Structure 1
Amino acid sequence: MTDRLLIAVVEDNDALRDATVEMLAHNGFRATGVACAEDIDDTPFPQPPDIYVIDLTLPGEDGLSLAARLRRAQPKVGIVITTARTLLDDRLKGYESGADIYLPKPVDPKELLLALQALGQRLRHMDPPSQGLVLDRHALVLRGSAGSCKVSASEARLLSAFASANENTLERWQVAAQMSPGSGSISQESMQARLSQLRRKIQACGYAGESIRSIRNSGYKFCLPIQTI
């Protein structure tokens, strides 16, 4: 873990999200804001966030579901839930979903800062999670900080190609060649579907942020350290 913690602020209120990110940045944190749970997968975090600050009442996937998903994928990540719901039953559900800290809104900035600093200290005393993936090409297994999963032969070829490519970047035709060896012919819709499936597998291995980034009119970049064995 770096000295400056990376905080992901998941809040659908634009003004509150921007103010929180600015406040955290002014107090020594690195912070990125997203409007909903679904945006996490498409946000180019420089590394997996150390702590997520999550609003409970998000559009789409709600905060409880997101917290539970993050806790399964990244057992050592920090999770702070913020919400106007203050009943005991609501707080218990928050902790059961995997939250470390439950703060009622409106949250005093000083309290949030102290909560993040305390949580950060605890995280620093834990064994640092692996920041990369390991692909076993022969067993067709991908391993990460939260576990492992099986990959298909074409997924293994694609991951190997990303690992050996300059700056882990492939042009679209190179991705197609790994997905459909021989013909190299694959529709854009099919390519996107298969990339989405691979992203979900990477997420299950412990990485909730961006893993494969689309480069406009060019190709794709693999955003995580990866080694092959």
Structure 2
Amino acid sequence: MLKIVIVEDNAALRESLVDVLAAEDHHVAAFESAEGFLANCSIASVDILLLDLNLPGEDGVSLARRMRADWPDIGIIMLTARGAPADRSAGYESGADIYLTKPSSAPELTASIRALARRLNTDSRVPTSPAEVSEVPLVLNCKTMTLTGRDGMQALTASETDLLQAFAKAPDNRLDVESILGLGPASAPASKAALGVKIVRLRKKLIAAGATGQPLNVIRTWGYQLSVPLTLI
């Protein structure tokens, strides 16, 4: 079951979308505007955001851009009557994963959500041990601040080195958000939004070094888990 939020100002369409997605056993919340969504919803618990572009107040492109910057792992689907190439480009550039034009059929919408969920890995269990995901050996040299794997070496920042070291030493390689934010001054992101950006960058470096699958998994509403074996030297 996914937590899906709909932001759509057309009341009839909003209710119809809620019915369609609830019938798929998803937990659905719906709002008329971006402002209503931001004021009344815990964004950290949202898996997929379904947005219209033409909203009262802040529009869908602006909202998508903010959500993508602050919550890099959230899924974003735009559902709009604006189907011109320029509108599609603006939607994707703002952070949309999928862009659908109205009218969109219920089967197309639900299939898009299932495809996005598979991509985001939000509907699968969180791995309980690194070996379940990958056997790629990675070595973190804390002194030289480098990460080495089968595909080569990646230079890390001091904060990335400290964060990986903390993951490696944590039980089950899991850290909650507050623990990460509470790391030393050299390591601590300034906010949850900055942490999300840091995780995305670190995930890319892990993959570039040779990790496979999803080396850093989101534990919804809690934190993150390092999902590849890591040796400290």
TM-score by length of 1: 0.57
Letter in 1 for 2:182: D
Are 2:189 and 1:136 aligned? no
Segment drifting more, 131-140 vs 81-90: 131-140
Aligned to 1:82: 79
Residue 110 of structure 1, aligned match among 107, 117, 136:
107
Are 2:35 and 1:34 aligned? no
Letter in 1 for 2:21: L
Q: What SS class does the counterpart of residue 77 from structure 2 fall into?
A: strand
Shift of 1:45: 4.0
Distance 2:19 2:186 in 1: 43
Q: What SS class does the counterpart of residue 103 from structure 1 fall into?
A: strand
Distance 2:31 2:83 in 1: 24
Distance 1:46 1:75 in 2: 12
The CA RMSD over aligned residues, in Å, is 3.0
Segment drifting more, 129-138 vs 96-105: 129-138
Are 2:93 and 1:91 aligned? no
Shift of 1:16: 1.2
Are 2:74 and 1:53 aligned? no
Distance 1:24 1:88, change over 3 A: same
Distance 1:19 1:96 in 2: 28
Segment drifting more, 58-67 vs 132-141: 132-141
Distance 1:202 1:28, change over 3 A: same
Deviation by residue 1:20-46 (Cα, 9 ceiling, x = unmatched):
112101112111111111122222449
Distance 1:97 1:138, change over 3 A: closer
Segment drifting more, 39-48 vs 72-81: 39-48
Letter in 2 for 1:107: S
Letter in 1 for 2:39: D
Q: What SS class does the counterpart of residue 57 from structure 1 fall into?
A: coil
Deviation by residue 1:27-76 (Cα, 9 ceiling, x = unmatched):
12111111111122222449521110000001111100111111111112
Segment drifting more, 123-132 vs 75-84: 123-132
Distance 2:176 2:109 in 1: 26
Q: What SS class does the counterpart of residue 73 from structure 2 fall into?
A: coil
Deviation by residue 1:121-179 (Cα, 9 ceiling, x = unmatched):
111189979774334287498x6xxxx21xxxxxxxxxxxxxxxxxxxxxxxxxxxxxx
Aligned length: 150
Letter in 1 for 2:116: L
TM-score by length of 2: 0.56
Q: What SS class does the counterpart of residue 45 from structure 2 fall into?
A: coil
Distance 2:176 2:47 in 1: 11
Distance 1:11 1:131, change over 3 A: farther
Shift of 1:203: 5.5
Unaligned runs of 5+ in 2: 127-173, 197-220, 224-233
Distance 2:34 2:2 in 1: 20
Distance 2:106 2:175 in 1: 31
